[in-house]
């Protein structure tokens, strides 16, 4: 399934402003709910709701959800930082906590 089809099947996130991710080392990263990152907000919010955090199991599912963009991320590291994060988790990078902030 293509990313657009996947996103259409996931719960809406229009009511969210951003996600704050906290890595195992305490580093914080933000995914804003704005054009260019709305798909990532939808995927990460879904994964956090289902798994409680973005751990290896959630990261593997997330890679599948990103569909064709996951292959592009593997071929061009740095182009898709939200996918790069999932790939790093799969390589043993540890789980990230997700704080969901409403708009």
Write out pLDDT tens, residues 50-96.
999 999 999 999 999 999 999 999 999 999 999 999 999 999 989 99
Rounded to two decimals, what is the model's pTM? 0.96
Using only C-alpha atoms, the chain has a radius of gyration, in whole angstroms, of 12
Task: Give me the pLDDT at residue 1, please.
Answer: 83
Task: Give me the pLDDT at residue 32, please.
Answer: 98
Domain ranges of the chain: 3-102
| Other beta carbons within 10 Å of 93 | 18
Instruction: Output the DSSP codes for 47-92.
Output: HHHHHSSB-HHHHHHHHHHHTHHHHHHHHSTTS-HHHHHHHHIIII
- What are φ and ψ of residue 31, in 5° steps? -115, 110
Sheet holding 16-22: strands in order across?
28-32, 16-22, 97-102
């Amino acid at each position: 399934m293509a990313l657009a089809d996947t996103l259409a099947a996931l719960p809406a996130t229009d009511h969210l402003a951003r996600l704050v991710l906290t890595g195992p080392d305490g580093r914080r990263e933000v995914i804003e709910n704005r054009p260019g990152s709305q798909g990532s907000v939808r995927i990460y919010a879904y994964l956090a709701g289902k798994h409680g955090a973005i751990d290896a199991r959630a990261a593997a599912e997330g890679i599948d959800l990103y569909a064709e963009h996951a292959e592009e991320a593997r071929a061009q590291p740095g182009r898709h930082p939200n996918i790069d994060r999932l790939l790093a988790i799969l390589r043993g990078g540890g789980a990230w906590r997700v704080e969901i902030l409403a708009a």
